[in-house]
Amino acid sequence: MEKKLSFGLDSFKVKSFRFDSTEKTIRKDRINFDIQLNIKSKKGERKCTVFFRIEAKHGKQQPISLGVIETETIYNLIGEIPYNEETDSIQLPNDLIVTFVSIGYSTTRGALLVKAQSTILADAPLPIIDPVKLWEHFKNQKSEKKSG
């Protein structure tokens, strides 16, 4: 019999937002975003939390920070939660994690647009990205840190 696992959205919070105004002329086509992702879940809590920290930067050679948003999306886990005794960690299915990343990123994208109203960041929204590629990139970075 297949174990069933589902989820519900518990909460979304903007933990912090900062916009740094500058006297420099900002070209919106030169705004880049540094995206950091962290996912945490604890055995006894039946929750999974997705953290995003996204910094908007202008320029390539010596980029200047334009602002930062930090968000937290919490999901309730319902049903049988896969647990790995050897690593003492919850082993959520990859597809479920990608769904969490997708919802968290999309909601963060919208929150940034609202928080950045009447700033240059409102004219340069976060790009639409493939959540599978974002999760794979994060997983690769995480495994490189562990092995290095």
Q: Where in the chain are the domains?
A: 5-147
CA distances 75 to 16, 18, 25, 70, 82, Å, are 20, 25, 41, 17, 16
Segment 41-51 mean pLDDT: 89
Look at residue 30 in the predicted model and tell me its pLDDT: 87
DSSP at 28: G
Q: How far from the centroid of its chain's Cα atoms is residue 48's Cα?
A: 13
Does position 89 have pLDDT exceeding 90, yes or no?
A: no
Architecture of the CATH domain 5-147: Roll (3.10)
Look at residue 147 in the predicted model and tell me its pLDDT: 59
Provide the token pair at 115: 């928080």
pTM > 0.85: yes or no: yes
Does position 2 have pLDDT exceeding 50, yes or no?
A: yes
CA–CA distance, 79 with 15 (Å, rounded to integer): 29
